Structures are given as C-alpha cells and as structure tokens.
Structure 1
C-alpha cells in the first residue's frame, strides 16, 4: 500500500477519505489543506480503465458524464403532457440526441506510469448509474480512483450508493491514486442560493463550476488565466435564485476571460443546436468561444 495525497487549496472546506464499509467512501470537514488517501491495491490498480480507448501516453481527457439539471432532460412531465409539446424534451427522447442530459458530472482521465489511467470523478448524482452504464463501457472506463463532491444535493451525491458495484467487484475501495506532485484541486467557493455554499474546482488551468448563483469576489483571483471554464447555465432567459441563466453566465465569461467556455447544467428550455448556433455568433462579434457541452463529450486537456 502506498499513501498518496491530493491537496485542496486554498480553502479547507472538504476532505475525502476511504473507510472500511460496504460503500468505502466518506467526506467530512478537515482543518488541513493536505488530504491523504490510501492508494488502491496494486492488483486492482493495474486493471486501469479497461483499455478500450487508446490515448497518447501523456494524454489527459475530461469527459462530461452528465450536463443536465437535477430532474434531467427529458422531463417525464413534458413527455406526458397532452396539452403542450416541449420541443427540447421531445428531441431529447430520441436516441443519441444531444439535448438528452443527466445529472451534471465530469470525469478526469489522467495517464499514470503503469500505462493505464487514473479516473477522478466529480459528483455522483442520482442518475450516476445511468451515466456510468452508458459511458463507462463506451470509453473503456473501469476503475474510479477518486470521487470529489461539489455539494450535498441529490444531483451531486444521490448516486454514491451505486459505488458499491466498484468496491464489491472492481477495487477494494475508492481512494486517490496519484503522486502528491501530480494533482492540485483548488476549491472554488461559490454561492448556490442564499447562504448555501457550493464548490467548484480548479485543476491545472481547467475551472469547473457546476452549481452557482453568485461568485464571491475572493474567488475571482482563483480563476485567473483559466483556459477552459465549465460553467452553470440553467436556462436561456433568466437566472434563478440558485443557478446562473445563460445571460448571467455570459457576463461571468466576459469577466473571467477564459480561452474557451463550455456550459453545463442546462434544463429543457435550452435546445442544444439552437443555443449553440446563437453562441457561435459571439465568437465572430466578441471573440467569445462558448458552447453548450453535452453528455459524452470528450475533450483533451493539459495538466
């Protein structure tokens, strides 16, 4: 067993540590900025992520497992409404349509010295099983080497019970298995409604903020020189008390000035093609490279 660690800087809001239980996961408050984890057993770690998708030796990927709201898209209430047809939900019901969105979640896939990949999951919401069922076999992902939680709502933690499949059948527990020098996750404290703190995370020059209604001034310096910003954008017309709408999200993009922005957490009022066509015009008029993400999107990143 090797003890590795991941550092959450600069705000000591969360700590994650494996524990002996059928579920083998926990999270708690912690005064320290350095969080130790026991690595997975060497036999389990050599299984890697299945090898179905071959990448370059130093290629890191970010995979969008889900890009939707808590209830997901399509909504059952829309598909069963005899009086009003919801165009986005109708499209989302079609196989392979990019309007189909499960709970917001990403997976960072980072190569390791053994020739496989370490997989770090951010959020396991109530639809996590369905996302994993679809994308893990498709992308050859087998192990989960860490789970990081942004906040305690059901769309971020409701799928934690499903991790039993991994701890019972794939690996003995779900820790962080990277060298101390390899990763720094910087918490990005934001507001997700009045007096409710949520966390975004920065890893390398990637900034991920999935649930946000306001960004405190003290968080902006942590967003400096962001290359890829992944940002909450619930609906096209307005913000709510707990989430950015598209226009507010664009205001933040102009303030943060990332090189590229991918919006996430979209509800059924956001038609993928229509909104992206509109956003493409901002690249011509303002130089803003911003688009909606979608479930299953894979992008290469540098860490």
Structure 2
C-alpha cells in the first residue's frame, strides 16, 4: 500500500554554493543575485550544495540523507530543527565529488547511535550507500570514520587505528539495483554521465518511480532513459546549472527542459542552479510553461514535497554487514632520514 514520504531539498545550489564569495568580495563582479542572497538570510537565492532529506514516517520516523557536501553543517543548522529531525539513519551518495561527500566529517553530530561512544569507538553504524568507486572516494578521505574490516588497515594512519570518531558502514550498490534504503523506501540506482565518461547515480524512489532525483547529469544514457520513460513520475528533480546552456558536467536550462518535456512529470523542480538564476524572476518565467501542460519551478533550500510511494514485495533491504572493500595496497613509504640521505648523496 502506498505510503506518504516527505522529500526536502536542503541544498539547491551548485558546488560553490550561493552567495558566491567572489561575487560579494569583489564589487566589480556586480552580481545582484549573490548580493541579495548575502544581505537577506531568508533569501531563496541562498543555495547550499545539492542535498535532499527523505523521511519515512511508518512504522517509525526514519531519515535518509542524499549526499553530504561541503555545506551540510549549515543545512542542518537551518533546517533540521524546523523539520523535527534529530538525526540521520542512512546516507545515499550520488558520486564522490567534494559537493557530495566532504560534509561526511560532520555526520557524527547527527548520527543516530544506539550507544554513546566508548573510548572513541562508536558502536552503532550508519549505512553509507554508494557505488564502488564512490565508496573508495569516501575511504580515501574519511578512513578514520570507518570501522576495522572496511578496508586494508595499512591504509589507515597508525594514530587512527584505535580512534574511530564515528561509525560508517559502507554498502556498495550497482547500476539499476533496487533495494530498500529504509523500511518502506524503495530506491533504484540510475546511472547518468556527469561530464565525459564519469558516472554519477541518479535515484528512482518508489516501485513506480513516483519520485526521480537527477542532481548531477550531463547526459542520460539510453538504458537509463528507457527506465525513466517506463513510468510517468509524479515529481522529477533535475540538474540545471546555467540558464545559457550546458556545462561540461551539468545540464543547462535548455537540456533540463528537454528532459522534462520528454518525461512529462506532474511536477518538475530544478536543482544545482548557479547565480545566473534569480529565484523570483526566473520562476515567473518558468510558470509560463503551464501553457504546454508543464509544471516547472526552481527548487530552494527548505522546499518540502510529499509523495505517496509504493514498494515491490520482492525488493529487500541491503545486506546487514557491508562487503569488504577491494582497495589497492599503499605505495611504499620512505623514512624522512632516508629521503634526506638520498638527496644529499645525489648532490655529491
């Protein structure tokens, strides 16, 4: 039976976020959107890194975070208390770029641990769900947050072997895989291109794809497009960095509108916007698309959307224990003294 699920866009901007610091620190930039966002704390032109919070209320409230970028802490301070969110139960990652993972260091503050830390070891683990390549990126940046058994101990600094400041449990998912990210929340991975051949994951929520999230996309491959066309989404969230056209790794407004016209969701929201977009002015322009039977808006930080999602009976949760990571051995390390001697000998 379909259940209501709340989707909250807690970050709607590009990787640099808005206001762009260069545009407010250098007056010659003359960017009215960034200046308005700087001066007005409640401005809808204030945009953090792309990030979404998904809340399932039954059988008990649980929260899934989609991406955890550089502006994650600010997003928590702005939105979590107002939303009644005390913490995060699981994290779903689209890819391994800074605007998607560099906030993971702050995840410890919102982790719903079953037990308090004991001697710097957190006994509860928060699932981190991502592709194999993205899990490796998480390991390379945040090895000190992963428990023993998550990868080669030789890759961990000696001082952090016994000091785990949070508990993350990496789960690798494959292209087009279906799984329950939380009880009652069915997700399917949709690979898209995010510049060149770099693969990023979009997500299809619900058995019928009632909610589709494509935050970082430069091209939709044919196999993914077939799935998107197989059902008419109630809500589509899609990347649109620039009004003027595509960026190397992102859709521009024309490409986003082309996809919206092809899929014809009931509602579509743009995400990842640069300061080329002014929220009030450009929404007025987008509302004119209603003449084509399209409902398109700019998203904003704090936007809430509720959708009834269905679940296939045969879709199961991810395995309880994450698989071992297959990581390359570390390069040989030279002692500082050995390096100095080698340099001195080489200069004689």
CA contact (8 A) 2:64 2:182 kept: no
Q: What residue in structure 2 maps to residue 198 of structure 1? A: 200
For 2:19 and 2:182, how far apart are their aligned partners in 1? Answer: 41
Contact 1:143 1:170 in 2 (8 A): no
Cα deviation code 1:46-103 (max 9, x no counterpart): xxxxxxxxxxxx5421011100011101011000122231011011111100000000
| Counterpart mapping for 1:21-32 below 5 A | none
The residue that corresponds to 2:18 in the other structure is 73
Quote the residue 1:49 is aligned against: none
Calculate the TM-score normalised by the size of structure 2: 0.67
Residue 37 of structure 1 corresponds to: none
Distance (Å, rounded) in 2 between the aligned partners of 1:271 and 1:90: 11
Query: Per-residue deviation at 1:212?
Result: 0.3
The answer as to 2:221 corresponding to 1:216 is yes
Residues 101-110 or 167-176, more deviating: 167-176
2:87–2:112 CA contact under 8 A, matched in 1 = no
Contact 2:19 2:35 in 1 (8 A): yes
Q: CA deviation at 1:181?
A: 6.8
Q: Which moved more, 1:182-191 or 1:64-73?
A: 182-191
Is 1:183 the counterpart of 2:204 in the alignment?
Answer: no
Say which SS state the counterpart of residue 83 (structure 1) adopts.
helix
Q: Structure 1 regions of 5+ residues with no counterpart?
A: 1-57
Q: Distance in 1 between matches of 2:181 and 2:74?
A: 31
The question of whether the paired residues in 1 share the 8 Å contact of 2:90 and 2:181 is answered with: no
1:106 aligns with 2:52: yes
Relative distance call for 1:175 and 1:226 in structure 2 (3 A) is same
CA distance in 1, matches of 2:197, 2:29: 36
Question: Greater share of helix residues, 1 or 2?
Answer: 2
The number of equivalent residue pairs is: 244
Answering whether residue 232 of structure 2 is matched by residue 225 of structure 1, we say yes
| Residue equivalent to 1:135 | 79
CA contact (8 A) 2:87 2:111 kept: no
The Cα RMSD (Å) is 2.1
